[in-house]
Amino acid sequence: MVKFGYTILYVLNVAKSVGFYEKSFGFKRKFITPENDYGEIETGQTTIAFASVELAKSNLRNGFIESRLDQKPFATELGFITDNVDKIINLAKQHGATVIEEPILKPWGQTVAYIRDIDGFLIELCTPMNK
């Protein structure tokens, strides 16, 4: 059996990143290690985890590409569903998010927008798909 458990974002400051997600999206903190090098938040069914860049470097001996706001985002995104995209964008901006694409109504009836978090990770904010 395989089950998707979590996504880990490598960040410079775990506590600051966890705080951003708590304040911007209302997610709840599961925990942060006493060393402040790893933390998790509850988002519903899937956990988002944060590992310090230093911890990640100790796990990945050949290195990795760090997410940076001064570079284009990775070809991946976190997708958050909300009934009010505009409200969540404004809240996230108050806590340091950068708006990449303003909300737009798609032909299939879904409102979609893109932001980057304080570490440069790409987030899609969208309304639920009509059933």
What pLDDT, in 10s, does the model give residues 85-112? 999 999 999 999 999 999 999 999 999 9
pTM of the model: 0.93
Residue length, the chain?
131
CB 105 within 8 A of CB 113: no
Burial class (CB in 10 A: 0-12, 13-18, 19+), 14: buried
Mean pLDDT of the chain: 95
CA distance 4 to 44: 13
The residue to which tokens 């490598």 are assigned:
10
- pLDDT for 44: 87
